[in-house]
Each structure stands twice: as C-alpha cells, then as structure tokens.
Structure 1
C-alpha cells in the first residue's frame, strides 16, 4: 500500500515538474518576443518637411501597430548621422538617395528600402536679386552643406551642367537649415536651402528664390536607408516600419487637420503653412509610388538611375574615391513584398 502511495506521489511530482518546465519554456519564448518588440529602432532625420510623416507615425503609434518600437532622432549633420549608424547608435537614416549612395561608396553598410518623398519646389537656391541665374554665383559667398545631402548633390549637379567649379565662389559650409538662416540674416550672398527658408528668403529685403527643384524634376528624392545588418537580422521589423509609413500617409489623407497639427509642432510652423508646402512642393511616396519607383528585377525603377547618377557625380567630383553600383545600395525586396 505504501509503495502504491509512493508511486502516486512520485508521479504527481514528475507531472508538476514537467508542467512548470513547459510553462517556463512558454514564458521564455513570450518574454523573448516582448523584448524583441520593445527593442528600440532609432531612425534619424533632419528638419525637412518630407520626413515629418515619420514623426507622425511614431506619435500615433503606427509603427507599434506592426510590432516595431521606433524612435525618431533629430540629427541635422550628415556626418553625425553617418557616424551614429556606423557605431550602431541608430539603425536608419532618412535622407536623399544621393547621400546614402555617397555613404555606401565610403564604406557605410546601408541600403535604401523605402522612398519617402521627392522635391517639386521645396528645395532651392536663394540669393540677392543681382543673382539671376546659377552662373551669377561666380565670386559670391554661398552657404552650402558640403558634408553631403540633397543640396550638395543638386549644387554639384548644377555645377557640371553649367561647366563651373566650386572654386569659382566662396563657400561657407553649414547645414541647409543654417544656410537659409544665414541668408535671411544677410550674412551670405546666396544659399542652397529648403522650406521654410525659401519663403523666408523672399521676404528678406533684396532676396529671392533664384531657382527651385521644379527646374530639375526627379533629381532630389528622399529615402529611408537602413543598416544592412539590421535588414538581415530583422526583416519583419523592416516591413513594420514601411507599413507604419504607409499608415501615416493614409492618416494624413483621412485626418488632415489632426495630422498637420501634430507635424507642425515638429516643423515649427503653422499647420496651414505646413499643409500648403507638403501638398504643393513635395510628393510623398505611398505603396503604389514605391512599387513604381523601385520597380522589379526585370523592370528596374527610377531609383537605380538616380543612384547611378549620384555615384558617378560623387566620383567625378572627387568627393568620393569609389563608385558603388545602384544594385548594392538598393533593396527593393520589402516594398515589393507588401501587398
């Protein structure tokens, strides 16, 4: 009888042990999943109107809706954002295609995975009224971000187009926002900048917009570049980030008043002014726009052409010592997989 009781007791103990062991395994997996979802993915961007839907997605929780905890970081300097990505402090950079191409050619492990916007008038060259065209910059003091970015790429593009050299003018290097501010403060003769500084430049005595990105359609395009290691290790999170962006664009359409109110706080201008700039001077890339811009392996999109132009221009301008193929810095996988 005692033997039977002992066997039953032993069986109960083993059953309880197996139960708790199974429970522990389940909890370990669950905790691991929660930890993965709570891992902060940091994306940097500068003060450009085309990037504010990223802030909207963060504040409205759209990234979290797809299992990604994204934190948007404000980093104006291109060199600072590159250093941050290289050291693992951030996982992504929202900037122009050409900037990520230059970074990749310099050895940074980064790929463009999502098109954000294209400038249709929100970038430009501002100057005093005696500067009527690009060639009139000869001998003038120009504020320009020489660390990279859309302004520098476009400026070099125009230099080549007009058969000019950077040495023909006095360049003061500063980020594009500071360049616009310097012009408005009458510290320089001209500046490569963006909104809202174009509008502010026109209000300055003897100031005007010499030319805007309307004159070079499709040249200035912004993308989200992610580190290749992050892309490889976290493909689900990459998709979640892209879906969060798409949801933010849908929210702007369905709830414009709320969306522009939220984004205007980041932009530092009124909701009406921001809405006007974002609806007339840039084009945001939604799901359909991304599929077209990236294209397929058989029918490659415009991003490959712009990436090649950028790689060639940086190399021939001696800004980069190396060229990089458009295929190496472009990853169309995710925008094409999202239905």
Structure 2
C-alpha cells in the first residue's frame, strides 16, 4: 500500500514539474517578439541589426528575433498575417494600410529621409532627369512598395503621365545589379551598399539622391520619414510595457549612431554586410548617417509629405480620409530616459 502511495506521489510530483516546465516554456514563448526587417543588410534599416549587436534588446529583458525579407511590402503582409509582431520598414505603410481599414503605427521613427537613390545605367547617358523616364523600364523593390510610389511620384512631378513608365520588381543588392547589367531596367531605386557598389564599378550613376533631408526636400517637396519600427495599434495597446522596452532599445541605438563614427558603427555589423568592401561601406554610412533621427521622434512635417505622395499613386489612399495622428505615436520614444 505504501508502495502504491509512494508511486502515486512520485507520479503526481513529476506531473507538477512537467506542468510547471510547460508553463515556463509557454511564458518564454509568449515573451518572444519577432520583427521582420525589409532587408536588414540595407543601411537604411541598420538600427535593427545594430540594436541586436549592441545587446540593447537583452539589456531591456527582451527576446527579439529579427527575420529578413527583401521587400517591405512582403514584410507588411507578414505583420497582417500575424506571423510577426513588428516590421522595420517604411512609415508610408502605416498610411497605406489605414486606407484599407488596418491601423498600424510607427512607434520609433528611425529616419527622416528615405535613404534611397534613383540610379541610371551608364548605358543610358540620355537620362538626365526624371522627365527622361518616358518609355523606360524602372526598377523598384516590389510593386506596391515605397520605392514604387516614390518612383511614380518623381515621374509625375516631372510631367509624365501614368503609363509613360513601367516599374518592375527587382529587389535589392545582387538582383538589382543583375537587372541593370542585363538591361532589364534602365534606371532604378535602391539603397546603400548597392549604390556604392554600382558607382565603384561605373555601371550606374546617381540621378536623384534622397539620402539627406535637404536633397529629399528638393526631390519630394518636404521631409519624408521612412525607416521605422511599425506595429499593429491593437498589439501596442495590449503590450505597452514591451513597446516601451523596444523604444528604449531603438532610441539608445539611434543615440549611438548619432555619437559614433561610421567606422565604429561598421565594426558592430556582420562582416558580410560589407560585400567585400568595408571601406566603401564605411564611406557610404558616413555620407548617409544624417538620414537617421537622433531620438526616434517623427518629424513634424513628414507625415503630410508621405500622404501627398501616396494620395497621388496609391489606389488605396487616393480620395480617402486619413487620420495621420493614428499612423504614428511619440508616446514611447518621449518616455526614454
């Protein structure tokens, strides 16, 4: 009898241990935050990998997993499907999605300029301005992407009509370079380090530069907030503590960028991001560091510029009433000590 009771107590205790272990594992899984980055090797999204490298997520007690996705529009789809909790991508997705009835907000604004450049193949010296895009095929990261909207906006601003240009999705990095080499595109919009790689080989030159606030204002008519951490508003409302910790980590990262040299920042990045040219990577970062905000706060005039661009070319946004105050929040970045 004692043996039976002893066996019963042993089994019961084992079951309790198993249940406790399962509960701990479940809690740990629930605490994990997955963030999709629209190409984390791109310098415009550098704060994501840098925050991880500096240990700032762990300092906040966060278990953050960064996933890579070449095009921002695909990262957005992963968020809406519930596969990830956040996206490091362009703020304009927050505006575009509201028009579809989806409330997504930027909680940390990484940049105040797109960090994008319109490059022209060296085979086409006749393309001297966006007005010369007529009849040409232009590369963008994806259809419905930020680069697509910006490309069409520049063409329209230059007096071209819908149908005068064709945009095709070619991604970034190696796929963008190959598309230009093979004459699939005559011009296209891309970021660092792809820009420097093509300039170095002489295969392309810069036509429109949007790597600084000043040049962006010239190209688009205003400040264009771009790279950000955006999340569904319902998730943020239900996870304010986690949202604050994410803001803490990213604002610290932006402060690090603002107070350290390009060479010091590059040393914290994965070596394969240099694509075999660390000096070129550092120079590109040094030239483009000014795109990043020092504090994660949304530029006051930025959302209106983004809405103006999307209202002209996004079928979702055109003619819709958009409440810009619901596309971003400064609640968390302003609480960072």
Q: TM-score, normalised by structure 2?
A: 0.77
Closer, same or farther: CA 95–284 of 1 in aligned 2, 3 Å = same
1:273 paired to 2:285: no
CA-CA distance at 1:38 after TM superposition: 6.6
**Contact 1:126–1:193 (CA under 8 A) maintained in structure 2:** no
Query: Per the alignment, in what secondary structure is the counterpart of residue 58 of structure 1?
Result: helix
CA distance in 2, matches of 1:251, 1:82: 27
Q: Where do residues 137-176 of structure 1 align in structure 2 (5 Å cutoff)?
A: 137-176=133-172
Point out the structure with max Rg over C-alpha.
1
Query: Per the alignment, in what secondary structure is the counterpart of residue 128 of structure 2?
Result: coil
CA distance in 2, matches of 1:319, 1:146: 16
1:192 paired to 2:192: no
CA distance in 2, matches of 1:69, 1:281: 30
Query: Per the alignment, in what secondary structure is the counterpart of residue 267 of structure 2?
Result: helix
Q: TM-score, normalised by structure 1?
A: 0.77
Structure 2 segments unaligned to the other structure (5+ residues):
1-15, 218-222
- From 297, 305, 325, the counterpart of 1:327: 325
CA-CA distance at 1:182 after TM superposition: 1.3
CA RMSD in angstroms, aligned pairs only: 3.1
CA-CA distance at 1:166 after TM superposition: 3.8
**Contact 1:142–1:169 (CA under 8 A) maintained in structure 2:** yes
Closer, same or farther: CA 206–243 of 1 in aligned 2, 3 Å = closer
1:129 paired to 2:125: yes
Q: What is aligned with 1:337?
A: 335
Structure 1 segments unaligned to the other structure (5+ residues):
1-23, 295-300
- From 21, 27, 33, the counterpart of 1:41: 33
- From 227, 234, 237, the counterpart of 1:232: 237
Q: Where do residues 178-217 of structure 1 align in structure 2 (5 Å cutoff)?
A: 178-204=175-201, 207-213=204-210, 215-217=215-217
CA-CA distance at 1:76 after TM superposition: 1.3
Closer, same or farther: CA 235–120 of 1 in aligned 2, 3 Å = closer
User: Residues 82-127 of structure 1, C-alpha deviation per residue, up to 9 Å, x if partnerless?
Assistant: 2211121111111122233213322333111111123476522323
Closer, same or farther: CA 251–100 of 1 in aligned 2, 3 Å = same
CA-CA distance at 1:186 after TM superposition: 3.6
